[in-house]
Amino acid sequence: MKVSLTAIKWQGYNDLFDLGVDALVEKIGAQLGAVEEVIDLGKKYDGVIVAKVVSCVDHPDADRLHICLVDDGGVAKDVERNQDGFVQVVCGAPNVREGMLVAWLPPGATVPATADKDPFVLEARALRGQTSNGMLASASELALSDNHDGLLEIDQAQSVWTPEGDKNPAPGMPFKLLYGLDDTIIDIENKMFTHRPDCFGLLGVGREIAGIQHKAFKSPDWYLEDPTFPSGDGLPLTVKNELPELVSRFVAASLKNITVGPSPIWLQSFLTRLSVKSINNIVDVTNYIMLLTGQPLHAYDYDKVKALSDGEATITVRHALENEEITLLNGKTIQPRKEAIMIATNKKLIGVGGVMGGADTEVDNNTKNIILECATFDMYSIRRTSMAHGLFTDAVTRNNKGQSPLQNDRITAQAISMIIEHAGGEIASDVIDEAQLKPQKPVTVTAEFINERLGLQLTADAMRDLLENVEFTVVINGSELTIQAPFWRTDIEIAEDVVEEVGRLYGFDHLPLELPKRSITPTRKDPLLELKSQLRDRLSRAGANEVLTYSFVHSKLLERAGQPADQAFALSNALSPDLQNYRLSLMPSLLDKVHPNVKAGYDHFVLFELGKGHNTNRLDEDGLPIEFEILEAVVAASGKAAPKGAAFYEARSYLEYLLQPYGIDLEFRPVKEPSLLPAMQVFDQQRLALVYAKGSDKLIGAVGEFTPSVRKNFKLSHYSAGFNISLVGLQKSMSASSSYVPLPRFPKVEQDICLKVSTDLPFQELADFVVAELHKARDPETRAVITPIDSYQREDDPGHKQITFRISIAHFEKTMTDTEVNGLLDVVAQAAKTTYSAERI
């Protein structure tokens, strides 16, 4: 929202700016909304001087040029003057003539229209042999409008506002004193005013600027007072509002015998300064009122509307019909969405209500009669229509904040009076006012309620003053305040809204900064976040790298990983197919990141991610998707960096290391039947183990290598494996009990036992057997540690493998001998022979 400080001054509020621009901007930021930019517009006009053309003769050597002498009151420095003190300027404008008052750009001045891009600085130079000291400027060169047909003629009779009082333009006056050009534009972020439609008008912002400085603001009389309309006739008009629930008020009137032409320069300048294009006096007046109040208006050519009506000029507010088209003022033809609020005659669409008018009924230079519209549209409907058709106009910016319908009548009255002032004509119909107005309800609140929420101790009187400054009506009864918001405010509905208003006007920067009081009850840390933090720490300490990848993936990524894409939640409005589906598990994303890192030169690494998986088949009792909290990791090595053996065992060793702190006796079970879980589909069933706590049926996770097609699809080397862990599964399997065994004081004896068994005997089965037999055989007063050492298969004997365990044993009461330990191992070997036909090597 661009705010012209000069325009607010011109409305009669000069005393709001004593603070100076910098301090004011800071105050606006703290109490109104973030200021994005401050533009010193007057700077553009530095050096431009009001001058009078005292003589004007034809250039002897050029047809279109004139040689002028100008009187600048002697203000310009370092310029060549004649004996009378006048300066010679060569001018090619067709309208230049003796006696006119113009804007002179002396040598050294910058052409204002070029100031923002490629500044053009004037100098004294010869034009066909005659010296021109700078130039006389057109409105376009002065960045006032697009008009470059001739020089800007300054009206000597039109007095201008200056800090020293009103003055008439005269030679030597700085040009920027004219037309409000000595202006500062403050751009306040629009989103600050999401709930403040009134602040999309200069009066609204001016009122706030007064309020936050604790100064009283009084709106102009025409805005505060109930309007009276002169009755008119000649141009009958019918309005049918078929959408009263979306258009709460529709005010319209016709005017006849107007003369369309350019607006006065001050108005053109006003619009240009606020980045609105000057069109003609009619459109400019509607925009002026909009910029002042926030309420958009629209003018239609009456005769064009009538021609498109069946009989009398008729305006209907309705939805668009199927396949109905309209060509807009911007030249585009659209088929409006069927929910759009449309303005139509009884035959044809003539405007997208509150968004943009239609080309068919545009006010042009030949327009004699107009219809003026001032309506209130449903803000959400306006926004959707604007988004659906990509139409972003000043009217949309204001209408989608929900303007107060209580102001339409007075705004219409002011617009009519301004149109008659600038374009002549008279009112030619009754002012039609179709309205469904809800009365504003007063809010009652106590001073304590407000103080408690702000941490302040303001009196009810002080609160009343703050509110009355911005034209609220406040009645105090004891400590109770009954507050009636002014009619333009749509945001004051509950007591907390008044808290905000009081706090903001008082100054949130003056609130007491006190911490809440707390007891010393210890805080509970979140178990899941704590677990994640531990896992993350432990894996990163083991050289693994934590990654984060998108929660949304391409369905093709799921397919490449062998996962059922139809079980993935799908976005209806994804940015691209790459982000179409929620993940079922993390592994496909991790695998997708392996090859790029290999290509970047990393030949052995472990990536892991902590994240969530979702499945359309898995909803909780409230019908919400269950979030599977998972950790997944991938181990990858290529070329010479790949260790010997299968990658499975590296992944497995990571998983064992990772879960070591949780006191779980892990069991790695081969897969008997193929799993249907999506997360398992990436794994080669022959090289996959499901991970459980020993003897339990609570699945903790899985570790495995990938199927040949997954390896191919993700360009993985044969040395690739991964694991997944369900964090909930892990939490359920954790054991708090310690497995610590006291250390014997006597020395330990270490001996190896190597057993040759059938290749088909699972390692774990033999290991469990050895442990069980040893524990059976040993003296309970010992501490025994059994460690697998090796697994060896002779090339010439594929039917067998030799597995070696190291037994380390110590007694709590005595020193054990080798003979005693040998005896124990003999017992174990004998048992293995009986059960597994194991041969001791």
Partner 1 sequence: MNYQNPQVAEVAQLLKNRLAELPNKSDIFKSIELKALYDELKVLPADQRAGFGAEVNALRQELQGLLASGSQAAEALPPIDVTAPFDVNVAPADRPVLLPTEQGSKHPLMTELETVLDIFYRMGFTAVESPEIDDDYHMFGALNFPEGHPARDDYDTFMTTQTDKNGKQFIAPAHTSTMQNRVLKQYKPNLAAGEPIAVVIPGRVFRNEDLDARHEHTFYQLEGVYVGKGIHAGNLIATLKTFLEEYYGKALEVKTQPFYFPFTEPSFEFALSCPFCDKAGCNVCSYSGWIELLGCGMIHPNVLSEAGIDPNEYTGFAWGGGIDRLVMMKNNIEDIRHFESARLEFLRQFS
Q: Quick one: DSSP state of residue 565?
A: G
| CB of 232 or CB of 354, closer to partner 1 | 354
Are the C-beta atoms of residues 240 and 315 closer than 8 Å to each other?
A: yes
The correct pick among 157, 515, 736, 743 for binding partner 1 (CB under 8 A) is 515
Are the C-beta atoms of residues 233 and 363 closer than 8 Å to each other?
A: no
The dihedral formed by the CA atoms of 582, 585, 590 and 593, expressed in degrees to the nearest 10: -30
User: Is position 261 an interface residue for partner 1 (rule: CB under 8 A)?
Assistant: no
The correct pick among 335, 616, 731, 808 for binding partner 1 (CB under 8 A) is 616
Are the C-beta atoms of residues 265 and 179 closer than 8 Å to each other?
A: yes
Are the C-beta atoms of residues 169 and 178 closer than 8 Å to each other?
A: yes
Degrees to nearest 5, angle at CA 654 with 650 and 659: 150
Are the C-beta atoms of residues 408 and 431 closer than 8 Å to each other?
A: no
User: Is position 392 an interface residue for partner 1 (rule: CB under 8 A)?
Assistant: no
The dihedral formed by the CA atoms of 730, 783, 649 and 692, expressed in degrees to the nearest 10: -30
Stretch that binds partner 1, among 148-156, 524-532, 693-701, 732-740 (CB under 8 A): 524-532
| CB of 604 or CB of 840, closer to partner 1 | 604
425/655 Cα distance (integer angstroms): 87
The correct pick among 23, 57, 224, 511 for binding partner 1 (CB under 8 A) is 511
| CB of 536 or CB of 783, closer to partner 1 | 536
Smallest gap from Cβ 214 to partner 1, in A, equals 16
Other CB atoms within 10 Å distance of the CB of residue 114: 14
C-alpha distances in Å from residue 22, one per residue of 38, 39, 45, 184: 9, 12, 21, 11
| CB of 82 or CB of 521, closer to partner 1 | 521
Smallest gap from Cβ 529 to partner 1, in A, equals 6
640/645 Cα distance (integer angstroms): 13
The correct pick among 480, 500, 779, 839 for binding partner 1 (CB under 8 A) is 500
User: Is position 534 an interface residue for partner 1 (rule: CB under 8 A)?
Assistant: no
The correct pick among 57, 216, 387, 772 for binding partner 1 (CB under 8 A) is 387
The correct pick among 230, 508, 818, 841 for binding partner 1 (CB under 8 A) is 508
User: Is position 518 an interface residue for partner 1 (rule: CB under 8 A)?
Assistant: yes
- Binding residues for partner 1 restricted to 555-594, rule: CB under 8 A: 569-575, 579, 582, 589-590, 593
Are the C-beta atoms of residues 324 and 340 closer than 8 Å to each other?
A: no
Smallest gap from Cβ 276 to partner 1, in A, equals 25
Smallest gap from Cβ 591 to partner 1, in A, equals 11
| CB of 157 or CB of 494, closer to partner 1 | 494
676/531 Cα distance (integer angstroms): 27
Longest CA–CA separation in the chain, Å? 133
444/465 Cα distance (integer angstroms): 16
| CB of 229 or CB of 657, closer to partner 1 | 657
Lookup: tokens for 179: 């037309």
DSSP secondary structure letters along 97-123: -TT-EEEEE-TTPBPGGGTTSS--B--
User: Is position 194 an interface residue for partner 1 (rule: CB under 8 A)?
Assistant: yes
- Measured in whole angstroms, the distance separating CA 134 from the mean position of its chain's CA atoms is 48
User: Is position 222 an interface residue for partner 1 (rule: CB under 8 A)?
Assistant: no
Side chain identity at residue 536, one-letter code: R
Smallest gap from Cβ 195 to partner 1, in A, equals 5
User: Is position 452 an interface residue for partner 1 (rule: CB under 8 A)?
Assistant: yes
User: Is position 244 an interface residue for partner 1 (rule: CB under 8 A)?
Assistant: no
Smallest gap from Cβ 618 to partner 1, in A, equals 11
Smallest gap from Cβ 518 to partner 1, in A, equals 5
Smallest gap from Cβ 1 to partner 1, in A, equals 13
Which of 345, 97, 85, 379 minimizes the C-alpha distance to 238?
A: 345
By DSSP bridging, strand 545-546 and strand 604-613 are: parallel
Site string for partner 1, 631-650 (x = CB under 8 A): ------------xxxx-xxx
User: Is position 839 an interface residue for partner 1 (rule: CB under 8 A)?
Assistant: no
C-alpha distances in Å from residue 347, one per residue of 288, 315, 377: 31, 10, 22
The correct pick among 121, 216, 548, 785 for binding partner 1 (CB under 8 A) is 548
The correct pick among 179, 377, 654, 805 for binding partner 1 (CB under 8 A) is 654
Site string for partner 1, 394-433 (x = CB under 8 A): ------x---------------------------------
Lookup: tokens for 727: 């964090």
Are the C-beta atoms of residues 687 and 761 closer than 8 Å to each other?
A: no
Lookup: tokens for 38: 């401050």
Backbone angles phi, psi at 213, to 5 degrees: -95, 10
Residue given tokens 């600038």 in the structure block: 422
Lookup: tokens for 49: 């001087």
| CB of 266 or CB of 628, closer to partner 1 | 628
Smallest gap from Cβ 557 to partner 1, in A, equals 14
Lookup: tokens for 409: 């009548």
| CB of 188 or CB of 313, closer to partner 1 | 188
Are the C-beta atoms of residues 203 and 292 closer than 8 Å to each other?
A: yes
| CB of 64 or CB of 694, closer to partner 1 | 694
Site string for partner 1, 691-730 (x = CB under 8 A): ------------xxx--xx-xx-----x------------
| CB of 114 or CB of 616, closer to partner 1 | 616
Other CB atoms within 10 Å distance of the CB of residue 697: 6
User: Is position 497 an interface residue for partner 1 (rule: CB under 8 A)?
Assistant: yes
| CB of 67 or CB of 568, closer to partner 1 | 568
Smallest gap from Cβ 760 to partner 1, in A, equals 9
Stretch that binds partner 1, among 64-72, 116-124, 272-280, 756-764 (CB under 8 A): 756-764
| CB of 36 or CB of 146, closer to partner 1 | 36
Residue-level length of the chain: 841
Smallest gap from Cβ 829 to partner 1, in A, equals 20
| CB of 230 or CB of 639, closer to partner 1 | 639
User: Is position 446 an interface residue for partner 1 (rule: CB under 8 A)?
Assistant: no
Stretch that binds partner 1, among 142-150, 313-321, 358-366, 757-765 (CB under 8 A): 757-765
Estimate the crossing angle of helix 460-469 against helix 447-454, to 10 degrees: 80
Smallest gap from Cβ 793 to partner 1, in A, equals 5
- Binding residues for partner 1 restricted to 15-44, rule: CB under 8 A: 29-34
636, β-bridge pairs:
605, 720
The correct pick among 513, 736, 741, 743 for binding partner 1 (CB under 8 A) is 513
Smallest gap from Cβ 34 to partner 1, in A, equals 5
- Binding residues for partner 1 restricted to 776-805, rule: CB under 8 A: 788-793, 801
3/145 Cα distance (integer angstroms): 19
736/446 Cα distance (integer angstroms): 55
DSSP secondary structure letters along 341-377: EEEE-SSSEEEETTTEEBGGG---TT---EEEEEEEE
Smallest gap from Cβ 555 to partner 1, in A, equals 12
561/577 Cα distance (integer angstroms): 17
User: Is position 677 an interface residue for partner 1 (rule: CB under 8 A)?
Assistant: no
Tell me how many residues contact partner 1 (CB under 8 A). 130
| CB of 215 or CB of 384, closer to partner 1 | 384
Name, in order, each residue with C-beta under 8 angstroms of 135's C-beta and a sequence gap of 6 or more: 89, 91, 104, 105, 111, 122, 141
Smallest gap from Cβ 139 to partner 1, in A, equals 36
| CB of 44 or CB of 614, closer to partner 1 | 614
- Measured in whole angstroms, the distance separating CA 417 from the mean position of its chain's CA atoms is 41
